[in-house]
Every structure is written in C-alpha cells, then in structure tokens.
Amino acid sequence: MKEKLKFIFSRIRAGRLQEMRKQIRWIYGYAKRYWLAMVFYTALGLVGTVIGLITSLVSKDLVDIITGRQTGEVVKTFVTMIVLNVVTTLLSMLSDYASTWVSMRVDSEIKADIFEKILVTDWESLTNYHTGDLLTRWSSDASTISSGVLSFIPNTIIYLFRFISTFAMVVYHDWTFALFAFLGMPVSLLLSKTLMRRMVNNNKRSAAMAAKMSGFNQEAFSNIQTIKAFDLIRLYIANLKQLQKDYIHMKLDFQKMSMGTSLLLNTVGLVVSYLSYGWGIYRVWSGAISYGTMTMFLGLSGQLTGTLHNLTSLVPGVIGLTTSAGRLMDIVEMPREDYSDDDLVLRFAEKHREEGVSLRLDQVKYAYKTGTLVFDGASMKADPHEVVALVGPSGEGKTTMLRLLLSLIPAQDGMAAVCGGRKGETFADEIPLGPSTRKLFSYVPQGNTMFSGTIAENMRNVKEDATDQEIEEVLKMACAWEFVEKLPDGINSVIKERGGGFSEGQAQRLSIARALLRKSPVLLLDEATSALDVATERKVLKNIMRDSYPRTCVVTTHRPTVLNICNRVYAIRDRKCVLLNEDEIDRMVRDF
C-alpha cells in the first residue's frame, strides 16, 4: 500500500499539478510587482468581512429589539446598521477599483512584455505558429491572466478568512448550526477531481478553437481580393458557418456540463438551506435561541455556503489562468535572438561610416529544421558601391540567402560576416552576422510592405527626424517622386492598409525609398523591382549605384534584363552560389 501511494504521488508531482506549479510561478513573476496593491486589496476584503460579521450581529440585535426579546435603542441600532452597510458598500467599490487598477496594469505589462518577446523570438521557430494564433495568445490569454491575478492568492485568503470567521461566529452562538454548513462539502470534494480534468480539457479546446477562428478571419479579411477574384465567397461563408457550428457545439457541451454541475450544487445548497431553516424554527420554538439569532444563523449559513462555493469557483479560475499561462509560455520560452553585440555593431558602423562595409560568405551551410538542405558550401561577396545580383529558379534559395544575411535564420556551418577596413582581399575588422548586425541592413522584401498611414509617416518609421527634403530626395532616387508630387497632399497622402490606393509598382518604389532613407551600409532587395517595367527597374538600380553613399546592394531577381549593369551576378545552383562570367550573363539576357 505504501509503495502504491508513493507511485500515485510521484505521478501527481510529474503530471498536471507540477505543470500548474510552473505556470503559477510564471504568473507570480508578473503579479509580485504589484504586491502592495494586492496587499491593499486583500486588506480591504478582510476588513469588509469583519464589518459584514459585525453587521450580522447588529441586525440580530435589531430583530430581537423589535420582537421584544431584549430592550435597546431601536433608532441607534438601526442607524448603526445603516452606517455599516454604507461602509461595506464603499469598501466594495474601493476594492473593485483596486482590482480594476491592478488588472489593467498587469494586462498592459504582460501584453507589452509578450509583444516584445515575440518580436525577439527566433524567427524560424515563430513561423510554426499562425498569426491568428499568436494574436489570440497575445490578447485573450494575456487578458485572462491579468483579470485573474486577483482571483488567486488575495481572494483565497479573503474567502478562507471569511469562511473561518463566519464558522467561528456560528459555533460561538450555537454549534449545532455549524453542522449544516458542511453537509454540502463531501459533494464538492467528490466533484472536484472530475471537474478539474474536464475544465483543463475544456479550456484547451476553447483556446484552440478561438485561435482557429481568429486565424480564419484574419486570413479571409487579408485576402478579400483573392477570394473575390476566384469567386470563393460561397466557400468561405460555408467554411465560416462550419467553424461557427463547431464552436457552438463545443460551447453547448461546456454548458451542459456546467448546468449539470450547477444543478447538483444548487440542489445540495437548497437542501442545506431548508434544513438550516427548519432547525432554526425548532430552536426558536423550543426557546433555545431568539428569533434574531435564528435570522443571523440563516444569513451566516448562506454566507458559509456561498463562501465555500467561492472557494470552489477559484479552481476553474486557476485552471483558466494556468492554461493561458502555458499557451503564452510556449511562445516566450522559444529560442531568443541574441542582441548582446548591439554596441559593438554601432561602434563598427561609426568606424567605417565613410568607406562602407562589405559582405563575405564562405562555405556556408544551411538546412531547414525539416532536414531539407538548401546551401552546402555557398560563398559570395559584395562591397560598397556595388550591386550584386542573385539569380536562379524559384525555390532554389534566393530569399533564404537574404534571410541568412539578415540572420533571421542562422548558418549552421561556414563563415558569414560584415567586414570593414579593407586592405586588398583582407579586412581589419570582421563581425559575424547575427541579430545585432541587422542595424547595418535595409531590406525590401517581396510583396507590399507599406503600413497604413501617410507616405511621410511610413518614411519616418525608419528615420524619425527625416526632413521633407530628405524624403523627397529618396523618392526621386526610387523613381517614386514622379507620382507622389502629383498627389493632392504630396508626401502627406494617405496609404491604406497593405498599400491600398497605390499600384504594386508604386508601392515597391515607396518601399525602396523608405529603405534608402535609412542610409544603412547594406541594402537587400528581394524581387523588390518585380512590378516595375524594365526601364524603371534599370533606372532605380543605376541611381543606387551612382549615389555617393557607400552602400552595398544585393538584389534577387527573376528577370535578367538588369544583370549587365550589376557588378557581379551569382547563380544559385546545386546548393552553391556560382559566379557567372560575362558570356553567361549575356546568354541569360538574350534567352529571356
């Protein structure tokens, strides 16, 4: 038997309870910063409980005075009861305010902290989550934790104190009434284990369904144009209705369980209440207690039952808290990017500001986490005032190479670095590529990457103090000024969500202008001129090459029409970067 008990307890320690303890410690990391507010909230609850008990005694005296069982000042006792009720109401309002204040502060802090941690989480790990799921975890789960922080330790203390003090008062006046307070406890204890397991499963299912619906809605609203273009309206409406049907079915299952539990607990509560009432009548009839004492006992009996239910209701709250904490911990405990070299990179950039920096990759190897090998021994170089092109069929690794340069994904072997202080083919300084070296890069990815707001606001996202003249200069360099100057509000014209109001080609030129405004030593253009005509594309690249700023530019392209103006062209073949000669470049241009 002893060994069996040890086994059971070891299973408990290694199971859900251990996981919950870990999640509670994580929540405590946020809650402890507001311990003074939580102590204040707890103190208000304890004082309110004491005043409530005093009110019960005053109410008893008032009833006894009125029924003639004792003499006293009716008016004074009545006024005292009114004052106590007013104080109780004020304390309740103050407690609600403190609760709201703490919840809002914790909510803001958790969301800001989680937002920051998501942004510095390893990019490849983060791509395993749908954006809708991330949004649900960041908003709903964080709010669940912030609103429930006060329903854990403070309310546990308050409810326990209320239960013990109320029970003590009942025992002091008539211990027989205390027995009725515990009649419903065995039922609650028997239900607790089953309810806990079901609540955990229900919370997980509910969170998963909420994330699924959020992801579906987010994708649908982001791709309305595609849905219309392929005439998928009926399909998406049908899919939404099916998701809603599944959600309703799940919620009704939860409701059935809740109704069954509530029915059982309420039935037990009614039985206890009527037994207490009957016993009270008997005690009054036999002359053992006064009518005022009976009314006090009935009130306290209800308070004992209610407090016991409050303590029981903390269980689903804790389960909800820990479930949400677990979902957030899944995100924040993923590998984090290392920005410890920020100061080193800033000093490096300032030291080589006049000459610019070079890129060097030597025998780089990279494979996706799925095991797919993308690069094996890839090497390339790019220097200031150069435009270096990467070409190759779709899916061969051009975008992956730019992600390697940006350290969104790390090279698993070989050398990848930014270099400065060039002396022939050697360099005085060299910093391995990492998250901190992104400070040296500007990036224009595929697709529309403009934010909602004005053109000027988009530009100043990368340089807050940029003057209107500086913005105009980069717009001209990106061949965007020709249409911006014709807009009624010029650079203060509004860009809608995802670049709405502008063509793809115009949005690309605005994106390029924004990257140029940042004046980073390295500029990466990932098919960033794909929506431009050949003449405009060549003009943009020539403007970049003629710029006096010592910029190193790497472009990926499917169109070879601009390759003959690039300093070097690398073709991605057989998991390597192969340097093309002039004949190979001319052949690609002719065959296009």
List, in sequence order, every residue forming a beta bridge with 121; answer none if it has no partner.
336
Structure tokens at 446: 């595929």
Alpha helices in 494-558 (DSSP H): 504-517, 534-546
- pLDDT value for 380: 92
Confidence (pLDDT) at 199:
62
pLDDT tens, per residue, the chain with 592 residues: 445 444 444 444 445 667 777 888 888 877 777 788 788 888 888 888 888 888 887 777 777 777 765 555 777 777 887 888 888 888 888 878 877 777 777 788 888 888 888 888 888 788 788 777 788 788 888 888 877 776 677 888 888 888 888 888 877 777 776 676 566 556 555 555 555 556 656 766 776 777 777 778 777 776 776 676 667 778 878 888 888 888 888 877 777 776 776 676 667 667 766 777 777 777 777 777 777 777 777 777 767 777 777 776 676 677 778 888 888 888 888 888 888 899 999 999 999 988 889 999 999 999 887 778 889 999 999 999 888 999 887 777 888 899 999 988 888 899 999 998 877 677 888 999 999 999 999 888 877 677 888 889 988 988 888 899 999 999 999 999 989 998 888 889 888 877 777 888 888 899 889 989 988 899 998 887 777 888 888 888 888 888 888 889 998 887 777 787 888 999 988 888 999 888 888 888 777 6
**3-state SS class at 570:** strand
Query: Which two three-digit tokens encode residue 562?
Result: 């601009």
- The CATH number assigned to the domain with range 34-332 reads 1.20.1560.10
Q: How many CB atoms are located within 10 Å of the residue 10 CB?
A: 10
Distance, in Å, from the CA atom of 558 to the CA atom of 98, rounded to the nearest integer, reads 61
Nearest to 551 by CA among 407, 399, 417, 388: 388
Q: Give the start-to-end residue ranges of the domains of the chain.
A: 34-332, 350-449+522-591
Residue 527 has what DSSP assignment? S
Q: Are 92 and 48 in contact (CB under 8 A)?
A: yes
A 10 A CB-CB count for 166 gives 24
- Total Cβ atoms within 10 A of residue 31: 22
Identify the pLDDT of residue 570: 93
Q: What's the CATH number for 350-449+522-591?
A: 3.40.50.300
| DSSP E strand boundaries for 250-405 | 358-367, 373-382, 386-391
Query: What's the rounded Cα separation, in Å, for the pair 208 and 558?
Result: 40
SS3 569: strand
How many beta carbons lie within 10 A of that of residue 119, not counting itself?
Answer: 10
Nearest to 308 by CA among 467, 178, 207: 178
For residue 12, give every residue at least 6 positions away whose Cβ sits within 8 Å of its Cβ, in sequence order, or none: 18
Look at residues 99, 94, 101, 103 and name the one whose alpha carbon lies nearest to residue 27.
103
d(CA 551, CA 544) in angstroms, rounded, equals 8
